[in-house]
Homo-oligomer: A and B are copies of this chain.
Amino acid sequence: MQTTRTTPSRLAKRAHYDEATIHPILDEALFCTVSFAVDGQPMAIPTAFARKGNKLYIHGSVGSHFIRTIENGAPVCISVMLADGLVLAKSAFHHSVNYRSVVIFANAEKVTDEAECMEALALITDHLIPGRWDDLRPTTASEMRKTTVLVFSLAEASAKLRAGGPSDDPDDENRPTWAGVIPLQTVRQTPVPAPYNNDTPLPDYLINPQNT
């Protein structure tokens, strides 16, 4: 939703407010950064998350300073960035980055419904490793008591994107300097078993290392 604080001051043409743009970025990103302020001092924590519909879930230890600081509804800014490529122009000034980013302004709500907590943990697990949750033993009541789940509305979310090649000053275009894009990709590599894994085989959902 476009509001004063979701409207960027620079390059507003790169901003988007539709779910069709915002949701896939959140679904592809593995981690977000949650920023909050304590007495005017900003702090930022990278963490796992998952999206369902127009909500975003994170989780943490009930004892975490971070979780305890924001669980009662303090304002937070959640940001996500996918770096797609380095954009090399013929002048330093026109170098850029291809990216897809989302910024969310929201206030945490603590999830108290047990079924919703459990579903959020499943969503966060499967967001990082699709198919994983159903392969695990059930989470115990004791484990749940140690875990806080927070939910945020995506109502005030915006995306900002850049794609494509460099744009140079016309006078520079013929300079003998290479110009173009170096694509970046996050790649999942071959899984490395734990010593106590013994000969447990890799499940289907892990057999082909996917790009994230």
Which residues of chain A have a CB within 8 Å of any CB of chain B? 5, 8-10, 30-31, 33, 35-37, 40-46, 48, 61, 63-66, 75-79, 81, 83, 86, 88, 90-93, 95, 97, 99, 101, 103, 105, 121-122, 125, 128-129, 132-133, 135-137, 139-140, 143, 146-147, 165-166, 168, 172-198, 200-203, 206, 209, 212
- Given A179-B193, A192-B183, A194-B165: A92 and B121 interface contact (C-beta under 8 Å): yes
Q: B193 contacts A65, CB within 8 Å?
A: no
Could you tell me the distance between the alpha carbons of A193 and B147 in the complex, rounded to whole angstroms? 49
Q: B75 contacts A41, CB within 8 Å?
A: yes
Q: A182 contacts B129, CB within 8 Å?
A: yes
Of A101, A165, A173, A194, chain B has the most CB atoms within 10 Å of the CB of A194
- Given A81-B31, A179-B200, A187-B187: A42 and B46 interface contact (C-beta under 8 Å): no
Q: A92 contacts B35, CB within 8 Å?
A: no
CB-nearest residue of chain B relative to A137?
Answer: B91
Q: B165 contacts A182, CB within 8 Å?
A: no
Contacts of A46 in B (CB 8 A): 79, 81, 99, 101
